[in-house]
């Protein structure tokens, strides 16, 4: 086994993993504020990609204008999804809520393909194909940029949660009855978290779209996102970031080791195995919240 | 369906616990069974083999999923994988010379054994985590089926299913295959109808409502979860095998992908959790909806003289089916079964509405 | 009924024949009427399940979170009917509800707890209110940096009250603030409450099972049983009432349990 190859895959894997974290952070944001596990996050990424392309290709706007417009559109869509579909389900059994997010997933995925078709379209954001060199290791430039953006988003989110509105959102996720009792508008808080999550999905769409084009496969990021979110603890944004790196490294190295043995495509298997192992061994993830017990 | 009866009056427990306590129901069921049995006589083979037959098989499958979802209250996102296990087990058994009658039982048993793996997940976690782990298991099983050549017959391969042979007689006519599906569906329905009246059924409901409360009154929740998963997997496996034998005639991994799992879930949700008649409605609705939608859209486009792209036509039914799930959850979470129940309750005493209370 | 001569106009809060149902079926309180005078301290006493918390929720609007609704009667705050308002609008008007069991935001620090509670007030007011809360509860200031979940029970109760004060209330409603606290802490918290009442003229509606402590600081008391107000008097009179002594002040020296139950069944509150 070539140790350099392994190292290289691990490093690139970590970068890709950070890009998975972007999807996972969207899931975590919504789960934190309303305990809704959003299985439509992947479809939201896909929709965001198509929306940006619609601005860029159909309205012939430059990308620097199309992306902010896409972010605004997705902000509104995020609020809309919460308002129309999930607000009335508050307090219903989890089976209904899961089914609802699955329904939204199908609707958004098939809906965007109905409008824009299923062929893969490029979303070039001007990152050159030539790799970066870190000593003898080759690093994919697009992954490096994506990982950098993911870390930046993470920092922004952490700072956001220190602001007054951010503190209010955290209060909602702690105890929404108590939040209500002090005059916090819980519905608006939850809607805001959906909106932020949709914005994060848009950024993920730009990065992933530039790597693999915009098509249905963006929705499949859901599996990666969910795995990372659960591994990180579902309600911890920092956990999502670290779990992304971890999953990325495991995936990267495993594909080097396992692909020759299994005849390719071992990544999906590794993801599924990580998800199952996490749930069986440590359901609250690496950094999930144990409820505080007073000492 | 008018019920010539004002209220339900029973004078002993046997009457009260009968499968169909109302005479009008018995007549209706009998009539429907007769119609179903006579269907090959008056339906052309297109309707018989491309609508009625898959509907019956999928209803049986949906009932099996309803056992887990509606009765035992355990989320299952990997149901199609379990059906796939049954299908592959049956096809391989048949190809190795096992008679079909035994092959489908083998299919059910294999599915039950492997499907019980899901029960071990259900032992440790519930709710969201169970949903996610069953989803992951679906991916693992998909992967295994398509990447192990001994199972799938090679990557991207289609495995031809041998003809069904009952007692040595090859069943190839449309009517014959239809009867196989009908018998299986009736069997599963009868089982599910009776499940409600047994200790097992009541125990499952107790586990669903609150598993530790059930444990306190002596219901071993793990045992019953295991039984529920095994039984449901058995039904899934046989349904998968019957589906391949009577409808697809060949088996590929895509027939049992995660999308199919979600489709099965949609049947149960649209039909109604825990509702038997609802499973019939749900399976029919989800199966027929895309086709009906397509004809409706082509009628519309013909009417208004515009044309839609081929891709739009291909994906629109899917989008609508997502919208349907959303709509049902918002408007009538208990599905078509509940709507039917409401109508029936109304007609049961019609026109004497005041009898109800 | 004893001499309560307040005219309605002077009341900060009036409940008139309020009836609450949960889930459209179960009747939790059946026609409760009570009044809190401006700047007054009133106690609502009663046993478990009598309807005390439901009464408070009907005032603060938190019933909706538990599928409850006010089916009849009206809640009037400063002369306005507030039946139809959302909880956050009621908070804005000046109704603060300290929930039973403290319910602080466990993963937030006390400082952040207070900030989160100022959502309906301006940033400027929030800073001033926070200083005021810290002046009432210096102990919270000492512990402002650690997660609220790790505070002691008394500190959490202080935080819950401080959080309610952050909304600049005109009426402070407390649901069993003494629950699970040591007697000296109860005394301390009640002292602070009467200080706030004295200094700021804040009206207080206090729900308690601990009638001894509550009747020390309030001017009037209501007694609720099975969803109905069954007695209403000044605190002094209530303390002297033999039935109150019997059931709420622990005055049953020479009766055994059987006799008490029997007595209770016979003698309903008839006032």
How far does C70 lie from chain A, in Å, by closest CA? 17
Q: Which of A103, A226, A227 sits opposite B329 (nearest CB)?
A: A103
Q: B26 touching A, CB under 8 A?
A: no
Residue that wins the pLDDT comparison between C271 and A160: A160
Q: SS3 of B17, please?
A: coil
Label the pairing between strands C11-22 and C68-77: antiparallel
Q: What whole-number percentage of chain B has pLDDT above 70?
A: 94
Whether the pLDDT of residue C271 is over 80: the answer is no
Candidates C42, C31, C30; CA nearest to C6 is: C42
Give a three-class secondary structure readout of B276-303. HHHHHHHHHHHHHHHHHHHHHHHHHHHH
- Give the residue, A132 or B33, on which the prediction is more confident: B33
Concatenating the DSSP letter of every residue in B234-245 gives HHHHHHHHHHII
- What's the CA gap between A166 and A176, in Å, rounded? 14
Q: Which two tokens stand for residue A105?
A: 């997933």
Strand-pair category, A137-139 with B159-160: unpaired
Per the CB < 8 A criterion, the answer to whether C45 and C222 are in contact is yes
Among A140-154, A277-291, B316-330, name the most confident range: A140-154
* Paired sense of beta strands C203-208 and C171-175, if any: parallel
Task: Inform me whether the pLDDT recorded for C170 exceeds 90.
Answer: yes
Percentage of chain A beyond pLDDT 70 is 97
A253-270 burial, b at 16+ Cβ within 10 Å, e below that, comes to bbbbebeeeeeeebbbbb
What is the tens place of the pLDDT at every residue in C22-73? 888 888 888 899 999 999 999 999 888 888 999 999 999 998 878 888 998 9
Mean pLDDT in residue range A219-230: 92
Contact A292 C65 (CB under 8 A): no
Average pLDDT, chain C: 85
Bridge partners, residue A138, by sequence: A133
- Report whether C31 contacts C17 (CB < 8 A): yes
How do residues B257-291 score in pLDDT, each as one tens digit?
888 998 898 899 889 888 999 999 999 988 888 77
> CA A127 → CA A143, A149, C135, C141, distances in Å?
10, 13, 57, 51
Which chain C residue's Cα is nearest to A172? C105
Q: How much is the mean pLDDT over chain B? A: 85
pLDDT of res. A197:
96
Q: Choose the mutation target among B132, B301, B321 for the interface with A, i.e. most A CBs under 10 Å.
A: B132
Q: Judge whether residue C260 has pLDDT over 60.
A: no
What pLDDT shows up at residue A127? 80
pLDDT at A294: 42
Distance, in Å, from the CA atom of B174 to the CA atom of B85, rounded to the nearest integer, reads 25
Residue A293: pLDDT above 60?
no
Q: With CB atoms and an 8 Å threshold, state whether A181 touches C92.
A: no
Pairwise pLDDT comparison (B91 vs A292), residue with the higher score: B91
Q: Looking at residue B43, what is its pLDDT? A: 83
Do A98 and B139 lie within an 8 Å CB cutoff?
no
CA-CA distance, B107 to B240, in Å (whole number)?
8
End-to-end CA distance of chain A: 50
Whether the pLDDT of residue B318 is over 80: the answer is yes
Burial grade of A175 (CB within 10 A; 0-12, 13-18, 19 or more): middle
Alpha-carbon span A140 to A156, nearest angstrom? 24
> Which residue, A38, A100, A76, A36, is CA-closest to A225?
A38
What's the pLDDT at C265?
52
> Comparing C164 with B297, which gets the higher pLDDT?
C164
Predicted confidence (pLDDT) per residue in A13-41, tens digit: 999 999 999 999 999 999 988 888 999 99
CB distance A105–B321 less than 8 Å? no
When scoring A91, A161, A181, A295 by the number of chain C Cβ atoms within 10 A, the one with the most, hence best to mutate, is A181
Interface partners of C (3+ CB pairs, < 8 Å)?
A: A
- Convert the pLDDT of each residue in A70-97 to its tens digit: 999 999 999 999 999 998 887 778 888 8
A279 and B137 within 8 Å at the Cβ level: the answer is no
Please tell me the least confidently modeled range out of B36-50, B87-101, B228-242, C185-199.
B36-50
Least confident of A187-196, B149-158, C19-28: B149-158
- pLDDT tens column, A43-64: 999 999 999 999 998 888 898 8
pLDDT bucket at A103, cuts 50 / 70 / 90 = very high
Please provide residue C242's backbone torsions phi and psi, each rounded to the nearest 5 degrees. Answer: -60, -35
As a whole number, the mean pLDDT across chain A is 89
Task: State the pLDDT at residue C226.
Answer: 86
Q: What is the Cβ-side half-sphere exposure of residue A6, based on CA atoms within 13 angstroms?
A: 8
Best of A107, A121, A234, A268 to mutate (most B CBs within 10 Å, chain B): A107
The answer to whether C97 contacts A294, with C-beta atoms less than 8 Å apart, is no
Question: Residue C5 pLDDT more than 80?
Answer: no
- Per-residue pLDDT band at A280 (split at 50, 70, 90): confident
Residues of A with Cβ-Cβ distance to B309 under 8 angstroms = 117
Q: Encode burial over A126-142: b for 16+ CB neighbours within 10 A, e otherwise.
A: ebeeebeeeeebebbeb
**Binning pLDDT at 50, 70 and 90, where does residue A175 land?**
confident
Q: Determine if residue A173 is left, alpha or beta; phi over 0 gives left, psi from -120 to 50 gives alpha, anything else beta.
A: alpha
**Local confidence band at A196 (pLDDT 50, 70, 90 cut-offs):** very high
Tokens of A133: 């060199």
What would the mean pLDDT of B212-230 be, rounded to a whole number? Answer: 85
Q: What is the distance in angstroms between the Cα of B140 and the nearest Cα belonging to chain A?
A: 6
Residue C106 has pLDDT above 50, yes or no: yes
Answer yes or no: do A275 and B133 touch at CB < 8 A.
yes
Q: Is A292 in contact with C108 (Cβ distance < 8 A)?
A: no
pLDDT, residue C10, reads: 77
* Min Cα–Cα distance to chain A from C32, Å: 22
CB pairs A-B closer than 8 Å: 132
């Amino acid at each position: 086994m070539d140790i350099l190859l392994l190292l290289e895959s691990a490093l690139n894997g970590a970068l890709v993993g950070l890009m998975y974290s972007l999807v996972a952070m969207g899931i975590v944001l919504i789960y934190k504020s309303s305990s809704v596990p959003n299985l439509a996050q992947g479809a939201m990424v896909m929709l965001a990609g198509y929306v940006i392309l619609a601005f860029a290709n159909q309205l012939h706007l430059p990308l620097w204008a199309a992306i902010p417009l896409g972010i605004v559109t997705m902000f509104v869509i995020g609020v809309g999804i919460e308002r129309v579909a999930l607000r009335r389900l508050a307090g219903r059994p989890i089976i209904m809520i899961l089914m609802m997010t699955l329904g939204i997933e199908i609707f958004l995925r098939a809906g965007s393909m109905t409008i824009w078709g299923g062929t893969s379209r490029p979303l070039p954001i001007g990152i050159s194909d030539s790799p970066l060199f870190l000593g003898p290791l080759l690093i994919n430039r697009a992954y490096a940029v994506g990982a950098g953006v993911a870390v930046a988003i993470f920092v922004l989110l952490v700072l956001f949660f220190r602001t007054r509105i951010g503190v209010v959102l955290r209060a909602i996720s702690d105890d929404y009855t108590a939040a209500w009792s002090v005059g916090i508008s819980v519905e608006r808080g939850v809607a805001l978290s959906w909106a932020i999550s949709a914005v994060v999905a848009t950024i993920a769409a730009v990065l992933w779209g530039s790597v693999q084009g915009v098509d249905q496969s963006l929705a499949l990021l859901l599996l990666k996102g969910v795995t990372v979110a659960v591994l990180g603890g579902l309600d911890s944004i920092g956990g999502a970031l670290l779990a992304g790196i971890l999953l990325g490294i495991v995936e990267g190295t495993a594909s080097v080791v396992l692909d020759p043995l299994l005849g390719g495509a071992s990544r999906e298997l590794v993801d599924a195995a990580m998800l199952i192992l996490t749930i069986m061994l440590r359901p609250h993830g690496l950094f999930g919240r144990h409820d505080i017990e007073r000492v | 369906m008018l019920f010539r009866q004002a209220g339900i009056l029973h004078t002993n427990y046997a009457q009260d616990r009968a499968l169909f306590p109302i005479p009008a129901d018995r007549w209706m069921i009998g009539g429907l069974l007769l119609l179903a049995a006579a269907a090959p006589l008056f339906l052309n083979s297109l309707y018989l083999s491309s609508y009625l037959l898959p509907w019956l098989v999928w209803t049986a499958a949906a009932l099996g999923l309803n056992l887990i979802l509606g009765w035992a209250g355990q989320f299952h996102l990997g149901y199609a994988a379990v059906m796939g296990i049954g299908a592959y087990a049956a096809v391989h058994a048949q190809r190795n010379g096992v008679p079909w009658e035994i092959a489908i039982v083998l299919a059910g048993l294999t599915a039950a054994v492997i499907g019980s793996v899901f029960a071990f997940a259900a032992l440790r976690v519930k709710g969201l985590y169970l949903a996610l782990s069953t989803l992951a298991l679906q991916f693992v099983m998909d992967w295994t089926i398509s990447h192990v050549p001994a199972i799938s017959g090679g990557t991207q391969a289609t495995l031809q299913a041998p003809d069904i042979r009952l007692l040595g007689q090859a069943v190839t006519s449309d009517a014959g295959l239809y009867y196989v599906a009908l018998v299986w569906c009736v069997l599963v329905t009868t089982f599910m109808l009776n499940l409600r009246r047994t200790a097992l059924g009541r125990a499952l409901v107790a586990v669903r409502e609150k598993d530790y409360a059930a444990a306190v009154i002596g219901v071993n929740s793990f045992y019953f979860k295991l039984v529920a998963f095994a039984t449901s997997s058995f039904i899934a496996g046989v349904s998968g095998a019957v589906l391949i034998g009577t409808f697809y005639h060949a088996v590929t991994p895509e027939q049992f992908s995660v999308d199919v799992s979600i489709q099965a879930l949609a049947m149960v949700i649209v039909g109604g959790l825990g509702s038997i008649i609802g499973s019939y409605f749900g399976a029919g609705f989800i199966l027929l909806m895309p086709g009906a939608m397509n004809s409706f859209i082509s009628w519309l486009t013909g009417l208004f003289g515009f044309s839609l792209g081929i891709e739009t036509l291909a994906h629109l039914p899917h989008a609508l089916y997502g919208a349907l799930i959303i709509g049902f959850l918002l408007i009538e979470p208990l599905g078509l079964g509940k709507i039917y129940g409401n109508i029936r309750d109304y007609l049961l005493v019609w026109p004497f509405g005041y009898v109800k209370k | 009924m004893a001499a309560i001569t307040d005219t309605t106009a002077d009341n900060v809060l009036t409940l008139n024949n309020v009836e609450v149902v949960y889930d459209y079926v179960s009747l939790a309180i059946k026609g409760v009427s009570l009044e809190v005078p401006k700047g007054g301290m009133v106690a609502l006493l009663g046993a478990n399940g009598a309807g005390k918390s439901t009464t408070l929720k009907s005032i603060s609007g938190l019933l909706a979170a538990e599928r409850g609704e006010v089916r009849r009667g009206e809640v009037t705050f400063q002369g306005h009917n507030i039946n139809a308002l959302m909880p956050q609008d009621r908070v804005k008007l000046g109704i603060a509800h300290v929930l039973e069991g403290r319910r602080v935001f466990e993963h937030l620090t006390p400082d952040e707890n207070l900030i989160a509670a100022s959502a309906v007030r301006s940033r400027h007011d929030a800073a001033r209110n926070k200083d005021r809360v810290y002046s009432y509860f210096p102990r919270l200031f000492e512990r402002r940096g650690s997660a609220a979940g790790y505070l002691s029970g008394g500190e959490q109760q202080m935080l819950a009250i401080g959080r309610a004060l952050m909304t600049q209330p005109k009426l402070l409603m407390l649901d069993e603030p003494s629950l699970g606290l040591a007697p000296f802490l109860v005394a301390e918290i009640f002292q602070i409450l009467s200080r706030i009442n004295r200094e700021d003229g804040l009206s207080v509606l206090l729900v308690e099972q601990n009638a001894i402590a509550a009747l020390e600081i309030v001017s009037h008391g209501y007694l609720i049983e099975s969803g109905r107000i069954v007695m209403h008097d000044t605190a002094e009179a209530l303390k002297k009432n033999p039935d109150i002594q019997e059931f709420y002040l622990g005055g049953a020296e020479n009766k055994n349990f059987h006799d008490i139950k029997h007595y209770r069944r016979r003698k309903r509150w008839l006032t």
